[in-house]
Copies of this chain bind each other. A is one copy, B any other.
């Protein structure tokens, strides 16, 4: 469904929707047992929900496409991930839950190493430690003051460490533009590219960044383990229609990890403070139950286990969710969706393109033959394999939140 149409159809209602996302949910059969993580796990409570649900698989972006976390979640929030692209700088800022303002310009930074002639030896400076990186960031924060004095008095510069060699650069001020080319040549042996605007409107901002870069270069020159930086993906926060306006929902995100909080903010959700454990999420949900009517609940650890190639731990994490699902059902959401943002089969130790298990429970369900929540049983599901961006419209309908189309 196009967002414009969703906006036309959406209406308020006294109903609640929960989107429970198990990150990296889908799996593949274990070489020895022939069973996936979900088939292996003992998850009677999830199975019971499946019995009461309409079931199938979501296709996050398209056939054969392995989604990153950004596209995978945007699709579940109802936004076509092929149309709604997030600039790399913005995604990086979202990833540390940086409160990006509409006029801010963000870029992703890498600390790197260059040789005596200025050519890049290692674009990631050997993936320096997060601690080393934080130390260099602190130094850069000091020199930025000088850069600011030379530049516009109204422009603030934020530099935030991310992880290993990565950091975020954010400029805040009036009239800033993101029409700036990468300085990262994406190749070793080459020199960092000179900072330049990609259109005339970018020139003033490019001038500011160039001054900062010059000072940063001097500061870093004698440092170790990195002695230079690269910038790429200059971008502004996208000006997307927000979920509250579009879907006429009061949406909240119950997500501990910064990346998911950041993504939720980009579509206009309120992010609730929450601890790392699943019980924290449930508690936050319960406490805020009256204040919102859409809850995105994010569970990270299925993906982490999958990415680590740890089949047994992924199974254990699924069983942890199984234990908690009843307390979620007890809140009596009008619509409960359980799915993932993509598959992360432990056998692949990576995100994959495989469709993602999905179930939707509401009082308006037709009969669906699924009796268990796993990749084999869900093949019986009446929803089949469908684009993930259609999950929210479906939930809206089941929640009585879509008007009739046409007379």
A interface with B by C-beta (< 8 Å): 1, 5, 9, 28-29, 34, 36, 61-72, 81-82, 85-86, 88, 91, 345, 348, 351-354, 364, 366-367, 369, 375-376, 379, 382, 384-386, 390, 393-398, 402-407
Q: Which residues of B contact A345 (CB under 8 A)?
A: 364
Contact pick for A65, options B384, B393, B395, CB 8 Å:
B393
Q: Which residues of B contact A69 (CB under 8 A)?
A: 406-407
Q: A384 and B386: CB pair below 8 A?
A: no
Q: Which residues of B contact A384 (CB under 8 A)?
A: 384-385
Majority DSSP secondary structure for residues of A touching B: loop
Q: B385 and A61: CB pair below 8 A?
A: no
Q: B68 and A29: CB pair below 8 A?
A: no
CA distance A405 to B91 in the complex (A): 13
Name the distance in Å between A50's Cβ and chain B's nearest Cβ. 16
Name the distance in Å between A262's Cβ and chain B's nearest Cβ. 12
A-B contact pairs, 11 of them (CB 8 A): A1-B63, A5-B82, A9-B65, A63-B394, A64-B390, A66-B404, A69-B406, A85-B406, A351-B404, A352-B397, A384-B384
**Ordered nearest first, which 7 A-B pairs have the shortest CB separation?**
A64-B397, A64-B393, A68-B406, A71-B406, A63-B390, A353-B397, A64-B394
Q: A407 and B64: CB pair below 8 A?
A: no
Name the distance in Å between A348's Cβ and chain B's nearest Cβ. 7
CA distance A69 to B369 in the complex (A): 30
Q: Which residues of B contact A66 (CB under 8 A)?
A: 397, 402-405
Contact pick for A68, options B36, B366, B407, CB 8 Å:
B407
Name the distance in Å between A376's Cβ and chain B's nearest Cβ. 5
Name the distance in Å between A120's Cβ and chain B's nearest Cβ. 21
- With CB as the reference atom, state the residue of chain B lying closest to A86: B406
Q: A397 and B70: CB pair below 8 A?
A: no
Q: Which residues of B contact A366 (CB under 8 A)?
A: 28-29, 36, 354, 375-376
CA distance A318 to B393 in the complex (A): 30
Q: B376 and A63: CB pair below 8 A?
A: no
CA distance A258 to B72 in the complex (A): 44
Contact pick for A353, options B68, B91, B348, B402, CB 8 Å:
B402
Task: Using known A-B contacts A71-B406, A88-B407, A364-B348, determine if residue A1 contacts B64 with beta carbons closer than 8 Å.
Answer: yes
CA distance A182 to B61 in the complex (A): 40
- With CB as the reference atom, state the residue of chain B lying closest to A39: B367
Q: Which residues of B contact A34 (CB under 8 A)?
A: 367
Q: B71 and A405: CB pair below 8 A?
A: yes
- With CB as the reference atom, state the residue of chain B lying closest to A72: B406
Contact pick for A406, options B9, B62, B70, B376, CB 8 Å:
B70
Q: B404 and A67: CB pair below 8 A?
A: yes
CA distance A345 to B393 in the complex (A): 19
